[in-house]
A and B are shown apart, each in its own frame.
Chain A
Amino acid sequence: MSAKKIDRLVKMVNQISLNMRSNGEEDFVAVQVSEHLEKFWSPPMKNLISEQIDKEDLGLTSISYSAVKKLAAIQKMK
């Protein structure tokens, strides 16, 4: 796994979170971000970020971190 690849995904999630941040409370926004990722990202992208989230500090914002945790849970259930 290249560092660049995960960095790209982190940048994308953070950008989505930033643009959605005013939609409501943090938990609510995290769910929306997670749903967005689930709806629009391909499985390799979802899997990679879900696998990496707890291995290192990826630089995710607080909303992004919560969103990816939720995404990881969904991925696990698949």
Chain B
Amino acid sequence: MLEFYEPQADFGTPEIESETMVTLSIDGADVTVPEGTSVMRAAAEKGIKIPRLCATDSLKSFGSCRVCLVEIEGRRGFPASCTTNVEEGMQVVTQSSEIGKLRRNVMELYISDHPLDCLTCPTNGDCQLQDTAGEVGLRSVRYGFEGDNHLVAEKDESNPYFTFDPSKCIVCSRCVRACEETQGTFALTIDGRGFESKVSAGQSEDFMDSDCVSCGACVAACPTATLTEKSIIEAGKPEHSVITTCAYCGVGCSFKAEMKGNDVVRMTPYKDGKANEGHACVKGRFAFGYATHKDRITQPMIRESIHDPWQEVSWETAVNHTAKRFKEIQSKYGRTSIGAISSSRCTNEEVYLVQKMVRMGFGNNNIDTCARVCHSPTGFGLKTTLGESAGTQTFASVAKADVIIVMGANPTEAHPVFGSRLKRRLREGAKLIVIDPREIELVNSPHISADFHLPVRPGTNVTVLNALAHVIVKEGLQASTYIEDRCEMDEFEKWSAFISDDRHSPENTEQFSGVPARDLRAAARLYAEGGNGAIFYGLGVTEHSQGSTAVMAIANLAMLTGNVGREGVGVNPLRGQNNVQGSCDMGSFPHELPGYRHISSKVTRNLFEGEWGVTLDPEPGLRIPNMFDAAIDGEFKGLYCQGEDIAQSDPNTQHVETALSSMECLVVQDIFLNETAKFAHVFLPGASFLEKDGTFTNAERRISRVRKTMPPLSGKADWEGTMALANALGCKFQYDHPSEIMDEIARLTPTFNGVSYAKLDKLGSIQWPCNDHTPAGTPVMHVDEFVRGKGFFAITEYVPTEERANRKFPLLLTTGRILSQYNVGAQTRRTKNSEWHEEDTLEIHPHDAEERGIKHGDWVGIKSRVGNTVLHADVTSRVKPGVVYTTFHHPVSGANVITTDNSDWATNCPEFKVTAVQISKVTAPSRWQERQKMFNTQQQHLLAKARH
């Protein structure tokens, strides 16, 4: 998939789906295309290029530039081929002397108000205006350049990633339309009329001051150098490209990494990528600079104590030292005294190898993954009810949804490319129900307004879900035939009796949830009766003490209304990180082997034992919180932590820090000295996604290739580092390429039986299950029957969290994410994305702020039962009274210093979303923040000693 650089093919107007085909003649050649296709696209599909400027196949045809004129037999004049649809028997001519003359005249007008600096222009050789001038044979401009023009219009350099040079603008509106149609933000407009027409961000603001979210869709759409990436201005045109998969959120966008030598100069979203179809966000498209940031550590390091300076060593020394330490610990404290945590940021092949090393080399099942702290309840809940621990749909399926529930998720911030798809469907008329304590963007944004916003009080999701089901059952709105055909009827009857109880009525649950009964009833009727109903949910559902119950309640709702098993419906967990689904699939939980098969199954163990040549422990190992507790109890002494920053991302930071400080050998493999690494004894340098081969599996179960664009800076990709450590422990791993690891996964995992790198290269991506029954993968799950056979309605009793607000802690803190930053921020904080979000702030309602004498921007102390921290206040009505909100992207914020040890009853997923707090005005950082600052300075000093 290494290619010389070529812009992606552009057919001019979007692809049309129709069962009726139309045949026409273009330049004497017969072409057959779906009804509704434009003449321009029909020509392009036959390989006939019609010059154009305002048309591109990601946007609806517009017909403003008049360059794409053609002749059509029987029609007067010269219709624009972009806005003229094909008709049966149509005879089209795309080239004639008259057409040529008209096109030249049009181009002449454009060029008369355009700088003639092609040789020094940053898009020289990659400019549609330049190409089109050449195609139409423009040789001179008769009008001169002395008259009124826009050639001295001032550049807007405010955006850190691209420039806006209006002197080069031809006002084709592609950028404006991309902002509207592709991204759905409506930040751009054409201001003025006639000669005064100009592209304007917001109310003639700079791009940075406008509503622009820097997705880059406008830059990609621009046919001139008006909107140009600064990286291209600095480095010039790329010379080759590699198709790979984004390493940020669970959308899993496909990109062409456009390169000059080993340097990425631009990330262009890949049009054939099925998760994103050519769109991207500010993180995936622009925030790749962290991969070569000066903070990267590229040499293995060891030290005896965390108060010692680091010592740089070879890979061989580092892994041998680690293996020796781990063996010593096991010999002293027992076989189960060590374990590992793998990461959803690493590839499938890498997380597979980590769990294999733990089970073979450590001889236990002490392997857990960061999905523990995000979507472990999804695994439990969906497996219990539907039979598979995964979402049911493709992202594209939302285009067929009629009623969409978004619960505990904020797609426009955390899954922006899916957020844009969702907005498109909403603009087309789909109904929207938002269940969230905050007024997220989808509740009210340009051309979108939620039909219902149910502002649930943190911790009471289950009451709302139960009440929705209660209304549907009591009002007889359930899909009875579907339930009878596809679900366990005994269990349904039992559940039906449970949910019909009056305690689940909206009028009774309102006291807990704060959601008005009338709105809830109306929302339930809309979901049950509004056509295809699709539910999308996120960590606002899972990260509760009842997270698993809420997931099961969501599955119940979908089954109850017959909304599982076809396009446009389903249960869709929006995964936080790029490979959450994959890391769970690969056996990263302490009780499961790859493919979600319990470790106690002798048949499954025999399969792996046969392949690996060892005897496996049949008992579950420790979960992450169990590891921390055991470490503090002195029973767990060694940890290999790959690509995960548990010191920042896990709850009750001081508890985590105590656990990490109790370890005798903490090994961290990462690209930076993250917060966890500051407690480590061994540091193994990690590789960014640009430095390795592998696969990621996104939230749609879509397995996509990650392809190496440059050699690993440390000399080893992460899978090679793990292999070296495993072999130092006595395992005999022998892989020359990650494709061999995938072959092993496929041999051992029924849902992956048909997956191979060759097939991935051929198909582009595959949604598992992929096996003999479904050789091309499975876009929609549970089509004819549920994976478990009959659907299971689980009883979903509401059990209030123990974390209650009271007089001492009267407010409820909930946490979330922001568009420009990603997770703990280790990557995005090392990019210019920080210009949008330099610090985490505390959102507080004006009423709560006024009561405490807090003004916007004040320092405020946030105190919970376990700790306190200090942030600046953001006084806003996005949160309702009684609720405060923050993000956790900066270590110094200490957001998790205040979150508690409470966790989901079934999976121990932490209850990040509910913490009782008190807020007060303060003048200084918290003690923890002071300590963190000192500790960080000390650790940076110890690192500096190793590097000099």
A complexed with B: yes
Shortest distance between the CB of A25 and any CB in chain B (Å): 12
Contact across chains for B797 and A19 when beta carbons are under 8 A apart: yes
CA of A12 to CA of B905 in the docked complex: distance in angstroms? 7
Indicate which residue in B336, B626, B799 contacts A18 across the interface (CB closer than 8 Å). Answer: B799
Contact across chains for A36 and B906 when beta carbons are under 8 A apart: yes
Chain A positions 39 through 56: 1 when the CB is less than 8 Å from some CB of chain B, otherwise 0: 111111100000000000
Contact across chains for A44 and B799 when beta carbons are under 8 A apart: no
Contact across chains for A44 and B336 when beta carbons are under 8 A apart: yes
Residues of B within 8 A of A21 (CB): 797
Indicate which residue in A19, A22, A23, A24 contacts B546 across the interface (CB closer than 8 Å). Answer: A19
Q: A18-B799, A19-B549 are in contact. Are A43 and B619 (CB under 8 A)?
A: yes
Tell whether B79 is near chain A: CB-to-CB under 8 Å.
no
Instruction: Pick the 9 closest A-B CB pairs, nearest first.
Output: A22-B797, A19-B905, A15-B905, A43-B619, A22-B795, A23-B795, A42-B622, A18-B799, A19-B799
Contact across chains for A5 and B619 when beta carbons are under 8 A apart: no
Q: A39-B600, A41-B620, A43-B619 are in contact. Are A5 and B906 (CB under 8 A)?
A: no
Nearest chain B residue, comparing its CB with the CB of A16:
B905
Tell whether B809 is near chain A: CB-to-CB under 8 Å.
no
Shortest distance between the CB of A73 and any CB in chain B (Å): 16
Shortest distance between the CB of B655 and any CB in chain A (Å): 12
Nearest chain A residue, comparing its CB with the CB of B626:
A42
Shortest distance between the CB of A35 and any CB in chain B (Å): 11
Contact across chains for A40 and B591 when beta carbons are under 8 A apart: yes
Most buried by B among A16, A19, A39, A44: A19
CA of A33 to CA of B388 in the docked complex: distance in angstroms? 21
Contact across chains for B629 and A8 when beta carbons are under 8 A apart: yes
Nearest chain B residue, comparing its CB with the CB of A29:
B795
State the main secondary structure of chain B at its contact with A: loop
Contact across chains for A19 and B906 when beta carbons are under 8 A apart: yes
Tell whether B304 is near chain A: CB-to-CB under 8 Å.
no
Shortest distance between the CB of B643 and any CB in chain A (Å): 24
Shortest distance between the CB of A4 and any CB in chain B (Å): 8
Residues of B within 8 A of A44 (CB): 336, 630, 635
Indicate which residue in B366, B591, B623, B905 contacts A39 across the interface (CB closer than 8 Å). Answer: B591
Tell whether B545 is near chain A: CB-to-CB under 8 Å.
yes
Most buried by A among B591, B630, B905: B905
Contact across chains for A42 and B620 when beta carbons are under 8 A apart: yes
Contact across chains for B626 and A45 when beta carbons are under 8 A apart: yes
CB contacts under 8 Å to A, within B903-923, are 905-908
CA of A47 to CA of B795 in the docked complex: distance in angstroms? 29
Tell whether B498 is near chain A: CB-to-CB under 8 Å.
yes
Chain B positions 475 through 495: 1 when the CB is less than 8 Å from some CB of chain A, otherwise 0: 000000000000000000010
Contact across chains for B620 and A40 when beta carbons are under 8 A apart: yes
Chain B positions 896 through 938: 1 when the CB is less than 8 Å from some CB of chain A, otherwise 0: 0000000001111000000000000000000000000000000
Tell whether B427 is near chain A: CB-to-CB under 8 Å.
no
Tell whether B295 is near chain A: CB-to-CB under 8 Å.
no
Shortest distance between the CB of B30 and any CB in chain A (Å): 64
Tell whether B391 is near chain A: CB-to-CB under 8 Å.
no
Chain B positions 626 through 642: 1 when the CB is less than 8 Å from some CB of chain A, otherwise 0: 10011001010000000
Q: How many residues of A contact B (CB 8 A)?
A: 21
Residues of B within 8 A of A16 (CB): 905-906
**Chain B interface size, under 10 / 10 to 19 / 20 to 34 / 35 or more:** 20 to 34
Supplied contacts A22-B795, A42-B366, A44-B630, 6 more A-B pairs, CB within 8 Å: A19-B546, A24-B494, A39-B600, A39-B620, A40-B906, A42-B590
Q: List 25 A-B contacts (CB under 8 A).
A: A2-B633, A5-B629, A8-B629, A12-B908, A15-B545, A15-B905, A18-B799, A18-B905, A19-B546, A19-B549, A19-B799, A19-B905, A21-B797, A22-B498, A39-B600, A39-B620, A40-B623, A42-B336, A42-B590, A42-B620, A42-B622, A43-B336, A43-B619, A44-B630, A44-B635
CA of A40 to CA of B365 in the docked complex: distance in angstroms? 11
CA of A8 to CA of B626 in the docked complex: distance in angstroms? 10
Tell whether B598 is near chain A: CB-to-CB under 8 Å.
yes
Shortest distance between the CB of B552 and any CB in chain A (Å): 10
Chain B positions 559 through 571: 1 when the CB is less than 8 Å from some CB of chain A, otherwise 0: 0000000000000
Shortest distance between the CB of B341 and any CB in chain A (Å): 15
Nearest chain A residue, comparing its CB with the CB of B617:
A43
Residues of A within 8 A of B365 (CB): 42
Residues of B within 8 A of A19 (CB): 546, 549, 797, 799, 905-906
Nearest chain B residue, comparing its CB with the CB of A15:
B905
Residues of B within 8 A of A15 (CB): 545, 799, 905
Residues of B within 8 A of A12 (CB): 908
Residues of A within 8 A of B795 (CB): 22-23
Tell whether B721 is near chain A: CB-to-CB under 8 Å.
no
Residues of A within 8 A of B591 (CB): 39-40
CB contacts under 8 Å to A, within B577-604, are 590-591, 598, 600
Nearest chain A residue, comparing its CB with the CB of B598:
A39
Tell whether B621 is near chain A: CB-to-CB under 8 Å.
yes
CB contacts under 8 Å to A, within B866-880, are none
CA of A43 to CA of B618 in the docked complex: distance in angstroms? 10
CA of A8 to CA of B623 in the docked complex: distance in angstroms? 14
Residues of A within 8 A of B633 (CB): 2, 5
Contact across chains for B797 and A42 when beta carbons are under 8 A apart: no
CA of A21 to CA of B619 in the docked complex: distance in angstroms? 26
CB contacts under 8 Å to B, within A1-38, are 2, 5, 8, 12, 15-16, 18-24, 36
Residues of B within 8 A of A45 (CB): 626
CA of A45 to CA of B622 in the docked complex: distance in angstroms? 9
Chain B positions 489 through 526: 1 when the CB is less than 8 Å from some CB of chain A, otherwise 0: 00000100010000000000000000000000000000
CA of A44 to CA of B619 in the docked complex: distance in angstroms? 10
Shortest distance between the CB of A77 and any CB in chain B (Å): 14
Residues of A within 8 A of B545 (CB): 15
Chain A positions 42 through 74: 1 when the CB is less than 8 Å from some CB of chain B, otherwise 0: 111100000000000000000000000000000
Chain B positions 526 through 554: 1 when the CB is less than 8 Å from some CB of chain A, otherwise 0: 00000000000000000001100100000
Shortest distance between the CB of A54 and any CB in chain B (Å): 23
Indicate which residue in B600, B619, B905 contacts A42 across the interface (CB closer than 8 Å). Answer: B619
Residues of B within 8 A of A2 (CB): 633
Chain B positions 291 through 335: 1 when the CB is less than 8 Å from some CB of chain A, otherwise 0: 000000000000000000000000000000000000000000000
Residues of B within 8 A of A24 (CB): 494
Shortest distance between the CB of B128 and any CB in chain A (Å): 58
CA of A43 to CA of B795 in the docked complex: distance in angstroms? 28
Shortest distance between the CB of A69 and any CB in chain B (Å): 20
Chain B positions 132 through 147: 1 when the CB is less than 8 Å from some CB of chain A, otherwise 0: 0000000000000000
Residues of B within 8 A of A22 (CB): 498, 795, 797
Nearest chain A residue, comparing its CB with the CB of B501:
A22
Shortest distance between the CB of A20 and any CB in chain B (Å): 8
Most buried by B among A5, A15, A23, A41: A15
Shortest distance between the CB of B596 and any CB in chain A (Å): 12
Residues of A within 8 A of B906 (CB): 16, 19, 36, 40
Nearest chain B residue, comparing its CB with the CB of A78:
B619
Shortest distance between the CB of A60 and any CB in chain B (Å): 15
CA of A3 to CA of B908 in the docked complex: distance in angstroms? 21
Shortest distance between the CB of A78 and any CB in chain B (Å): 9
CA of A41 to CA of B620 in the docked complex: distance in angstroms? 6
CA of A36 to CA of B590 in the docked complex: distance in angstroms? 14
Residues of B within 8 A of A42 (CB): 336, 365-366, 590, 619-622, 626
Nearest chain B residue, comparing its CB with the CB of A37:
B620
CA of A22 to CA of B591 in the docked complex: distance in angstroms? 26
Nearest chain A residue, comparing its CB with the CB of B380:
A40
Residues of B within 8 A of A39 (CB): 591, 598, 600, 620
CA of A5 to CA of B590 in the docked complex: distance in angstroms? 20
Residues of B within 8 A of A20 (CB): 797
CA of A11 to CA of B235 in the docked complex: distance in angstroms? 59
CA of A36 to CA of B907 in the docked complex: distance in angstroms? 10
CB contacts under 8 Å to A, within B224-278, are none
